[in-house]
Structure 1
Amino acid sequence: MQTDRELGMGIAEFPPNASKPRHKATGPELCYVLEGDVTVQIDGKAAHVYRAGESFALPANLVHVTKAGPSGAKVLASWVHTPGKPFNVPAPD
């Protein structure tokens, strides 16, 4: 089957208390916390902490902030994207 989308995968390492500002992904993401913990704050919802051994999914175009805990975090992430186009884009305030 031919498609214009690709699957990507990588490990994101967050230093202690590091955060990724408000943004959205142009495709769906599936994440698994390998070490530490991360807090995901989705616009309009309560923040949720994911610890090592837990996973979470984020649909495309969902505005959110991700923040590592005091010991940092290592997250295995997979995503679907369109080649040649940005995957993460800043979200307006």
Structure 2
Amino acid sequence: MSNNEPTSAEQGPRSEAWKTALTMLQTAQPPSIPEGAEAMTVLIEYPPGDPGTPPHRHSGPAFGYMLEGEMLFELEGEPERVIKAGETFWEPGGDVIHYQDGNNRTDSWSRFLVTMLCAPGQPMLTLVDDEELAQRKDRRAPRPA
């Protein structure tokens, strides 16, 4: 060969690890993706006991993976649940209110990654005001006593 790159015989045996390296963590029905969406991946880190972002919505779907700790997660129409390290979550975005994403632990940090598909020209996160929360209170799942 004229270019000093090794031939496949000189590279040695190929790895077979790729055949078992993939672990499926989450599948979801394809959500509506805004035309011309921009994808972004963000790291969120909350200190112990932090309540997280106030009620909000995203302009497009969001897919997340809990790296460390626990998150109290609640979407409009669904009961709140705890997401633990190694677990995934997703939300459709659009008109769905995301009520909670706070740290469920008071003794450790929570860290999670989120990949969001944002509608062009719109913020990736919009807070929901108290008036709208009151108007839509019937859409929120019953809260634990």
TM-score, normalised via structure 1 length: 0.87
Runs of 4+ in 1 over 2 A off after TM superposition: none
Identity %: 27
Say yes or no: does 1:82 pair with 2:119.
yes
Partner amino acid for 2:72? T
Quote the RMSD (CA, aligned, Å): 1.4
Measure the CA separation in 2 of the matches of 1:89 and 1:58.
14
User: Rg: which structure is higher?
Assistant: 2
Which of 12, 15, 19 lines up with 2:44 in the alignment?
A: 12
Aligned residue among 102, 105, 129 for 1:67: 102
Deviation at 1:15, TM superposition (A): 1.1
Letter in 2 for 1:14: Y
Mapped partners of 2:49, 2:120: distance in 1: 31
Uncovered stretches (5+) of structure 1, i.e. residues with no partner = none
Higher relative contact order structure (alpha carbons within 8 Å, sequence separation ≥ 6): 1
Aligned residues: 91
Alpha-carbon distance in 1 for matches of 2:109, 2:76: 23
Quick one: which amino acid aligns to residue 83 of structure 2? Y
Bigger share in helix: 2
Match of 2:93, as an amino acid? Answer: A
Aligned mates of 1:17, 1:81 — CA distance in 2: 28
Alpha-carbon shift at residue 72 of structure 1 (Å): 2.5
